[in-house]
């Protein structure tokens, strides 16, 4: 029987049974036929007491008789009987209905799953997976609101029987606490060392994927908040003293009790990154807003990028996982953007014309070798008019050649070859002073192409996929810039200075270089994400209080999420899934933000516990048919810090699947309302990774 007919059937059945029982027991007078209501009056004949025959119609007196002299009016006694009967029947029916409704509600409450009210705060009760996802699930829409959502009325979700039970995913062994799946040193030994191939991405096969939770080391602590984290980190979080010993003279890092201190030193700036940046600022302007995005190749512990932040410049720092195994990990622990990476055989995972400035401080990259392959890659990612800064060998070789343990001839030849290659790239040398040399890329290729000899190398690339950078081999050719009409025009369009750049329509959109994107859609996207972030602040109050520093957007779109968070002391790693359309990473860089291409079926190029907040907008709907989403969630768990937060935006069906998996991953989660209200099929799942360490996990086992 359909549920909506069940209670009426119960009502009428119970009412009929109760009425029949009452009548049979004599509790109610029977309804009799009208003919039986006319009875002779006892003791009287038809003629009456006087013997005089009564007129027709007056010879009988009975309950319900209708004498003519009463004008058809009912007898009062009969009227009272009918009223009493009606009241009794209605009363019994009402009683039966109330009892039936109460009985049905009681059984439904017992059968329904227990409501889940897991909150985003760390000390709250964890969520539980319902035994049947199609049952009613009541969840508070916002922490401060008493309103509840009932998904049963609008969304019916059917799970397979095998998906009902929650898989409790165990912790990994302590030896995996710093595991980087696609940069595993043990796997790297199987690949050639030529051109740094063994330090590029080499991910495990499906059969070798770990299905366990990466543990935090014993005594792990929450990192220092920004800006204190720029200068300090807990030793227990990254228990490596190697850099403090190997780089003691260069002043990279020092151990002070239970903390690391970062004085800001570096190989080429032992007096501190601040003083080094001041020297650069004296050569090219760093504070007028023209330079916003920077690339640091071979970044060390990213002190250069850390101290550029206060000048309004955000730096993408990368370095390989090598003998200095923790340098990128230190950078992220400090709250500075960084990735594991190397310039080897493949393009670095950034679009063309992305960075205003690139930097190499004794990064040990052979710029003059392999037909200039590595400098050609820097040229690809530099925007028109961008700067390349080189310090360290071979710059100022006459002074440093003995310390570098190289001959004068060797160093002079290296610098001459770099100078020649830069000229063939049509770069202009701006200045060389002390330990610094600066080149500038032209604003367009008009003059370069017109003055170039036919046989001069490197040639311009024939392909137009200059933005393609995910597992894409580098080429020994110049990435062409967009065509211009005059020599004064900036190829691809001029950018606004920072911070106006963040909200200005990017040139790639105004010039129609990104399919499907228009200035109107860009403005709408900005407004949309401003509203969404306002909603997030209600759901997650710590977001507006500086709780989060390292933030990742797994599907960044046009960068609206990062734009809406500009006022807070955080930075966002904007990820654009490889193969997604349209390709918006170039738009994100033109807004003054940073990001990378990535395929979420593989592990991200970072260490465990390096992000405070991860945002996933429709990521799982995009990948659900491409790979097992459990491994995407395990990767999110790997890179998220203990007590970090995740925000999922997706259909309620997908969010329930996610929640069913994460209930076995030591997460606490809660499904919340869309910012537009409860009738939007898209919902928000907020989850918190609970605090636990390898030591605690071993005790539980």
Residue 693 · residue 217 · CB < 8 Å: yes
How far is CA 642 from its chain centroid?
A: 16
Q: Please return the burial class of 3, using the count of CB atoms within 10 Å of its CB with bins 0-12, 13-18 and 19+.
A: exposed
Over range 472-500, report the average pLDDT: 97
**Which 3 state secondary structure label does DSSP give 595?**
strand
**Which 3 state secondary structure label does DSSP give 642?**
strand
**Res 10 pLDDT > 60:** no
**Res 387 pLDDT > 50:** yes
Tokens 């200035």 found at: 519
Half-sphere exposure (CA, 13 Å, Cβ side) for 2? 2
Residues of the chain within CATH 3.40.50.150 domain(s) are 271-450, 500-700
Q: What phi and psi, each to the nearest 5 degrees, are found at residue 688?
A: -125, 130
- Report the residue count for the chain: 701
Tokens of 56: 């027709």
CATH architecture of 271-450: 3-Layer(aba) Sandwich (3.40)
Beta bridge partners of 428: 440
Over range 512-522, report the average pLDDT: 97
pLDDT, residue 698, reads 64
Superfamily of domain 500-700: Vaccinia Virus protein VP39 (3.40.50.150)
Beta bridge partners of 594: 573
Tokens 């040229």 found at: 379
Specify the pairing of strand 640-651 against strand 611-617.
parallel
Tokens of 367: 């710029």
DSSP one-letter code for 66? -
Chain segment 428-444, per-residue pLDDT in tens: 999 999 999 999 999 99
Chain segment 66-119, per-residue pLDDT in tens: 444 444 445 566 666 777 777 877 777 777 767 665 554 443 333 333 333 334
pLDDT, residue 117, reads 34
Q: What phi and psi, each to the nearest 5 degrees, are found at residue 273?
A: -65, -35
**Type and span of the H or E element at 307:** helix 303-308
Q: Which of 442, 589, 571, 458 is nearest to 514 (CA)?
A: 589
Q: Is the peptide bond before 120 cis (omega within 30 degrees of 0)?
A: no
Rounded Cα distance between 569 and 563, Å, is: 13
- Per-residue confidence band for 246, with pLDDT thresholds at 50, 70 and 90: low
CB atoms within 10 A of CB 516: 9
% of the chain at pLDDT higher than 70: 76
Rounded Cα distance between 306 and 299, Å, is: 11
* Distant-in-sequence, close-in-space partners of 431: CB < 8 Å, separation ≥ 6: 283, 437, 438
DSSP one-letter code for 657? H
Rounded Cα distance between 646 and 307, Å, is: 28
Q: Cα-atom radius of gyration of the chain, to the nearest Å?
A: 39
**Which 3 state secondary structure label does DSSP give 465?**
coil
Tokens of 507: 């040139």
Strands (E), 280-412: 293-297, 314-319, 338-340, 355-361, 382-391
**Res 244 pLDDT > 80:** no
* Distant-in-sequence, close-in-space partners of 263: CB < 8 Å, separation ≥ 6: 251, 252, 253, 254, 272
Rounded Cα distance between 383 and 370, Å, is: 23
Q: For 75-99, what is the HEC assignment?
A: CHHHHHHHHHHHHHHHHHHHHHHHH
* Distant-in-sequence, close-in-space partners of 91: CB < 8 Å, separation ≥ 6: none
pLDDT, residue 212, reads 98
SS3 content of the chain, % helix, strand, coil (to 5): 35, 15, 50
Least confident of 254-258, 280-284, 485-489: 254-258
Beta bridge partners of 259: 234, 256
**Res 267 pLDDT > 90:** no
Residue 587 · residue 523 · CB < 8 Å: no
Rounded Cα distance between 85 and 90, Å, is: 9
* Distant-in-sequence, close-in-space partners of 228: CB < 8 Å, separation ≥ 6: none
- Per-residue confidence band for 592, with pLDDT thresholds at 50, 70 and 90: very high
pTM of model > 0.75: yes
pLDDT, averaged across the chain: 84
**Res 162 pLDDT > 60:** no
% of the chain at pLDDT higher than 90: 68
CB atoms within 10 A of CB 332: 27
Tokens 């040639």 found at: 459
DSSP one-letter code for 127? P
Over range 453-469, report the average pLDDT: 92
Over range 528-541, report the average pLDDT: 97
Rounded Cα distance between 448 and 557, Å, is: 34
Rounded Cα distance between 450 and 535, Å, is: 54
Over range 551-573, report the average pLDDT: 98
Rounded Cα distance between 133 and 152, Å, is: 9
Tokens of 619: 């990521």
Rounded Cα distance between 66 and 73, Å, is: 7
């Amino acid at each position: 029987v359909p549920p909506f007919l069940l209670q009426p059937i119960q009502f009428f059945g119970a009412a009929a049974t109760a009425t029949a029982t009452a009548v049979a027991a004599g509790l109610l007078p029977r309804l009799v036929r009208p003919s039986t209501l006319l009875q002779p009056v006892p003791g009287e004949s038809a003629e009456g007491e006087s013997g005089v025959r009564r007129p027709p119609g007056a010879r009988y007196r009975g309950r319900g008789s209708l004498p003519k002299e009463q004008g058809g009016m009912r007898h009062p006694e009969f009227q009272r009987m009918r009223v009493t009967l009606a009241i009794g029947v209605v009363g019994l029916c009402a009683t039966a209905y109330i009892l039936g409704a109460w009985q049905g509600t009681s059984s439904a409450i017992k059968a329904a799953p227990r409501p889940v009210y897991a909150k985003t705060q760390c000390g709250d009760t964890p969520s539980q997976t319902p035994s049947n996802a199609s049952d009613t699930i009541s969840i508070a829409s916002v922490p401060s609101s008493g309103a509840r959502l009932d998904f049963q009325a609008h969304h019916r979700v059917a799970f397979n029987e095998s998906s009902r039970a929650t898989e409790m995913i165990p912790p990994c062994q302590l030896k995996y606490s710093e595991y980087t799946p696609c940069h595993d040193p043990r796997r790297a030994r199987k690949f050639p060392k030529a051109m740094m191939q063994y330090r590029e991405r080499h991910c495990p096969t499906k059969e070798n994927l770990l299905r366990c939770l990466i543990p935090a080391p014993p005594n792990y602590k929450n990192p220092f908040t920004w800006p204190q984290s720029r200068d300090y980190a807990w030793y227990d979080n990254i228990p490596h003293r190697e850099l403090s010993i190997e780089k003691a003279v260069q002043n990279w890092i020092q151990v002070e009790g239970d903390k690391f201190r970062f004085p800001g030193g570096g190989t080429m700036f032992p007096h501190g990154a601040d003083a080094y940046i001041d020297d650069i600022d004296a050569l090219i302007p760093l504070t007028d807003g023209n330079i916003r995005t920077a690339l640091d190749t071979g970044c060390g512990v990213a002190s250069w990028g850390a101290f550029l932040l206060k000048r309004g410049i955000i730096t993408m720092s990368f370095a390989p996982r090598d003998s200095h195994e923790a340098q990128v990990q230190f950078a992220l622990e400090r709250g500075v953007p960084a990735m594991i990476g190397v310039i080897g055989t493949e393009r670095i995972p950034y679009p063309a014309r992305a960075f205003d400035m690139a930097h190499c401080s004794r990064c040990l990259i052979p710029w003059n070798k392999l037909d200039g392959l590595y400098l050609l890659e820097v040229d690809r990612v530099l925007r028109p008019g961008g700067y390349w800064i080189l310090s360290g060998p071979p710059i100022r070789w006459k002074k440093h050649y003995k310390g570098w343990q190289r001959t004068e001839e060797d160093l002079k030849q290296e610098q001459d070859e770099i100078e020649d290659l830069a000229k063939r790239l049509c770069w202009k040398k701006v200045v060389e002073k002390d330990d610094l040399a600066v080149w500038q890329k032209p604003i367009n290729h008009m003059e370069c192409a017109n003055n170039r000899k036919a046989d001069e190398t490197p040639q311009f690339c024939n392909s137009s996929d200059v933005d393609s950078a995910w597992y894409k081999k580098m080429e020994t050719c110049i990435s062409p810039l967009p065509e211009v009409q005059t020599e004064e025009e900036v190829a691809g369009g001029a950018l606004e200075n920072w911070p106006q750049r963040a909200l200005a329509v990017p040139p790639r959109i105004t010039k129609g270089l990104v399919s499907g994107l228009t200035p109107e859609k860009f403005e709408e996207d900005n407004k949309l994400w401003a509203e969404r972030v306002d909603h997030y602040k209600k759901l997650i109050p710590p977001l507006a209080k500086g709780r989060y520093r390292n933030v990742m957007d797994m599907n960044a779109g046009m960068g609206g999420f990062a734009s809406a968070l500009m006022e807070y002391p955080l930075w966002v790693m904007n990820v654009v899934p490889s193969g997604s359309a349209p390709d918006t990473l170039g738009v994100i860089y033109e807004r003054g933000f940073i990001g990378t291409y990535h395929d979420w079926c593989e592990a991200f190029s970072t260490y465990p516990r390096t992000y405070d907040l991860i945002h996933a907008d429709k990521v799982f709907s995009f990948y659900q048919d491409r790979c097992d989403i459990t491994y995407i969630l395990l990767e999110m768990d790997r890179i998220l810090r203990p007590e970090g937060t995740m925000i999922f935006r997706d259909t309620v069906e997908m969010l329930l699947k996610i929640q069913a998996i994460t209930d076995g991953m030591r997460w606490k989660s809660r499904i919340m309302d869309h910012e537009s209200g409860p009738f939007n099929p898209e919902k928000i799942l907020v989850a918190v990774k609970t605090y636990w360490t390898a030591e605690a996990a071993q005790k539980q086992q």
